[in-house]
Structure formats: C-alpha cells, structure tokens
Amino acid sequence: MRAAQAALSTYAAEESAAHARRALAVMGADDTRRGELLTLLGEATLLAGAEQEAAAAFDAARLWFVTHDDRRAAAHSAWQAGLAWTRIEAHAQARAAFEQALASLPDAPCAETVQVLTALATLLAVSLGRVPEGVALAEEALTLARRLPEPLLEAAAARTAGTLRVRANDLDGGIALLEAALAAAIAQDDPVEAAECCAHLAMAQIWRGDCVRSLAFSYRRLEFAERSHDPYQFRHVYTMLAIGTCLLGRWSEADAWLARAQEAVARLASPEPLAFFHLVRGYAAWLRGAGETALTDLRAAITAFRTMGEGTLVWYLGVLGFVQAALGRRAEALATMDELEALIARLPAGTMPTAEPWCHLAAAALRLGDRDRARRCYAPLRAFTGQVHDFSVDGLMGAIALREGEFAAAEAHLMQALHLSRTRGCGLEEGRVLADLAELELARPSPRPGARSRAHELLTRALVTLEGLGMAAEAARVRERLASLVPSAQRAEGLPAGLSRREMEVLRLVAAGLSNRQIAERLSLSEKTVANHLTSILTKTGCGNRAAATAFAVRHGLA
C-alpha cells in the first residue's frame, strides 16, 4: 500500500494502480485498510485516464465504508465515483452516484456536503440544461462552504456558483465570483482548481465578446494544467487556445493549437473533448472558406454530441445549421433549425444554454431569407444584448430589424454592436456589422443623400477588416456585395424620377403583377418595407396607383 501511495505522490499513476491491485489481491476482505486502498486505486486509475475502472473502485470503496458504518467516507467515495462518470459524459451514472453520496452524508454539514452539492449542481446545469436547479444547489453549497474553515473548499464552491451564474445569464456576478475563486486557488497553490477557474473565465469573456481577455485566461489555464499532471485538464485547453487565436486572425498559431488539441483529446476516454475539437476545427475551416471540410468536421461533432443528451446537443447543433445555410444547403439547414427550435423550447428561457442556439437560428434564418424564423428569434435575443455567441447579439437584432423595415431600431442595434465589437477587440463582428450598416444605408425607402457612397465606404472597411483577419468566408460575402454595388451606382444616374436601386426592383415586380406579399418574399423584405418603397415610388413618379406605376415602368423600359 505504501508503494502505491509513494507512486501516486509522484504522479506515476499506472505504477500506483498496479501496486494497489496487487495489494488488494492479497488483502483480506475484513482488513481495516481495504476501503482506503480501494480509494487509492480509484484515484490512481482516474489520473491514468481509466475512468470506468476508477468508478468501479470508488463504488467498491463506498460499499466497504457502508458496511463498516462510515457514512462520511461512503459519501466521499460516491462523490468520487460520480466525478469519474462525469469525465466520460455518463450523466445517468454520475447523477446516481451523487444522489447516493447525498443519501450517505451524515446529518451535520461537512466538507463532503459541499463537494457533493457542487458536483450535482454542475451536472444538472451544465450537462442536463437544468440551470435554475443547478444554481440553487451551487448557492447552497457556497453558503455552507463559507461557514467551514477550508479556503480551497470555498474556492471550489465559488467557482461552481460563479460558473452557474454565468450559465444563468448573470455574466458580471459570475465573473466576479470566478475571479475571487481564482485568487483563492492561486493563494492555496492548487493548480487544478486554478485551471478550472481560468477555463470558465475564458468562456465568460468570449461570451462578452472580449477575445483578448478570453485568450489571456486560456494561456493561464495552460500554465496551471501543465502543473497539475492531470491529462484531463488538457481536455479543452488547446482547443480554446485555437478559438482565441483564430478569432484574432492568428491562423498559424491556431493551426498549431489544433494539432496539439488533436493529440491531447485522442488520449482521453471521454467523447466530449474530441467532439468539441471537431466542432471548433469545423467552424474555423468555414471561416477560412473551406466549406466542405467544415461540414465533415461539424457532422462528426454533432454525431458525437447526440450521444451525450439534449442538454449538450443544444449548445452545438446550431453551428452545423448555420454553416449548412451559409453554404446554400437549404433543405438540410431547415431540418437542423427545426430540430434546434424544438430543443430550445425545452430549456428555461433567458438562460445561457439558449443564447447560442438562438444566435445560430437567427444567423441561419437571415442567410436563408427565412423571415418568420428570424422574427421569432428577435424577442429571445433581447435577454443577451451586449454578448457574443459566435455572432454579436446586437448585430443579429439589428439585421432582423433591418429586414422588418424597422430602420431606427436597426440603426440603434447595429451602432451598439459596432461600439462593443471595437471596444472589446472583436474584429470579426466589426466586419459583419459594418456590412449590415452598409445594407441599412441602401434599404431605406428614401435613402439619405450620399447613401450609396457611404455604403461603398462601409463595405470597403468591412472587407479590409475581414481580409486582415483571414476570415475568407465573410470577406467573400462582403466582396460580392461590394461588386454588386459598383454597377448599381453607375446605373443610378440613368434611373428615372430619382428612383433608388431597390425601388427600381420593387417597381419591376409591381409591373410583373406581383402582390406586396409576393414582392416581400422575392426580395426577403417585410411587407411593411415593400409598402414604404411603393409609397415612395408613387410619390417620385407622380403615379396615383399600381396600374399607373406599371405604365410608368413600361414607358421607361423597366418592365
């Protein structure tokens, strides 16, 4: 037994496990050290990445402690078994183990009470999408931890409560708790706890749209993970470093981190890190313009996420739907979006697990001209203004308002998105928003003087920004808009009655006999916007009705 303990103290996990197995084989069933040795075997195999063997060892330890009437030790072993199951996304087994731990706890609150409550809270909120229940348990654990004289226990409870406050869409409150937990973990020199705090801070900052701060926390996470000697701490760190560097346009670094991520996740038994790696590599491929490569990775990711339950799938399915829409795979995208909407409906409104799905739905709907779906996304997105979930929430709301003909609201949303993207260093969103502001300049029924030249300038700035970051897919889209604008500008002088390009398009469709609804569908506009354009056309041309406008179009060669 001492040999197993000595090996584990030097992080020689497999050697420790081998010593423990040999000792158990010769140890009597009633030996007073058996429960401790089973626990040691569980800890060694967990560190070695053999989660199922670890869970079995911890459960055997639990049964031994129950038989010997040690409730606190039994609860501790059940909690450890639950953690082992959690690492391989075995949610049902993990929950059963945590509930066994709760049932085994002594009546007086103790450290194990906090440990079990935080673990169960995380499982419910993060893996199963039951955010309110998870938050309540985490807050209970934090209150209890603050009454116990164990700084690391309080740090872990604060980290869990902070993480779940973020998931409940209290970003500022959650970040404050996470930063306090990180400071405590550093003070206690616990690299595992510090690495976990940095992981959640990196994600919280990326949702704020602060790519630079998010990347800084990922670098700190890597430092702590390297000190932890635990392969599990590397499950996401390289992938998150790839996200941070690609969003800043540092593609050679991103490629290097992705290569290291692939090696790291291949050594883990859990399917989740590999699925997340495929998701990130796929989305990065799409950003660089490699659409088919992106789909291959994204499909692999979603296939894996489906095995982990709806609470996990809902976070990521929308990425596939958006890329399908962006690549013009309409039928596939619509099917994915229908499934995603059904998943969102089963989650608590306004919580973070719904933020990314709503953003992906809105972005995909806008690409497909699916105005009804885009309109449905608008109200739920309000809960997340000021945030970024692969897309600026304010930018998406502005784009939706623009297509609904709500030009004042569109301008307010887009200017807010532009301000946030610039102050937080999110160049991808800045480029996207500049392109939408250009569209706004051209979409008004009565464009402002110089609108076309301002649109050209905005698109040029968007293109420079996106090309500078290597965002090939978004840059190509802006380039197409810019190319279509130039000949339109050249033709504008020849349009009769001072009609704008959009008014000319509407007039041609009026002359073709289409109704306002049909024109709206054809041009991906709202009926209200079409009506506004028609009013402007009738005013500029001096026509009193649609028939007169049709005659005007015929006379001027527009029909």
CA angle 297, 400, 374 (to 5 degrees): 55
CA angle 66, 71, 6 (to 5 degrees): 85
Return the axis-axis angle of helices 310-326 and 330-344, rounded to nearest 10°: 150
494-559 and 1-108 share a CATH fold: no
Residue, of 44 and 495, whose pLDDT is higher: 44
Tens-place pLDDT, residues 470-523? 999 999 999 888 877 755 444 445 678 888 888 888 998 898 888 898 888 888
Handedness of CA 222, 90, 205, 261 (dihedral sign): positive
Tens-place pLDDT, residues 381-422? 999 999 999 999 999 999 999 999 999 999 999 999 999 999
Give the number of other CB atoms < 10 A from CB of residue 321: 30
| Assigned token pair, 447 | 């464009």
Give the whole-angstrom CA distance, residue 5 versus residue 129.
38
Give the whole-angstrom CA distance, residue 378 versus residue 218.
32
Do 324 and 367 form a contact (C-beta atoms < 8 A)?
Answer: no
Give the whole-angstrom CA distance, residue 452 versus residue 389.
31
Report, as an integer, the average pLDDT of 304-318.
Answer: 96
| Assigned token pair, 131 | 């955010």
| Assigned token pair, 309 | 């339950």
Report, as an integer, the average pLDDT of 219-242.
Answer: 95
User: Cα dist. 512→269, 426, 508, 518, 554 in Å?
Assistant: 62, 44, 6, 11, 10
* Mean of the per-residue pLDDT values of the chain: 93
pLDDT at 107: 85
- The CATH topology of domain 1-108 is 1.25.40
How many residues appear in the chain?
Answer: 559
Please check the confidence at residue 527 and state whether its pLDDT lies above 70: yes
pLDDT at 486: 59
Share of the chain above pLDDT 90, in %: 77
Q: Where are the domains of the chain?
A: 1-108, 270-384, 409-493, 494-559
Residue 388 DSSP SS3: strand
Tell me the whole-structure pTM to 2 decimals. Answer: 0.83
Residue 222 DSSP SS3: helix
Question: Which CATH number is associated with domain 270-384?
Answer: 1.25.40
Tens-place pLDDT, residues 322-357? 999 999 999 999 999 999 999 999 999 999 999 999
What DSSP assignment string belongs to 455-506? HHHHHHHHHHHHHHHT-HHHHHHHHHHHHHHHHHHHHHTTSGGG--HHHHHH
Give the whole-angstrom CA distance, residue 145 versus residue 160.
12
Handedness of CA 3, 9, 10, 15 (dihedral sign): positive
Per CATH, is 494-559 categorized as 3.40.50.720? no
> Which residues face 388 on adjacent strands?
392
31-58 CB burial, b ≥16 within 10 A, e <16 = eeebbbbbbbbbbbbbbbbbbebbbbbb
Torsion-angle region of 387 (φ positive above 0: left; ψ -120 to 50: alpha; else: beta): beta
Burial class (CB in 10 A: 0-12, 13-18, 19+), 174: buried
Report, as an integer, the average pLDDT of 436-448.
Answer: 88
Tens-place pLDDT, residues 237-276? 999 999 999 999 999 999 999 999 999 999 998 999 999 9
pLDDT at 148: 93
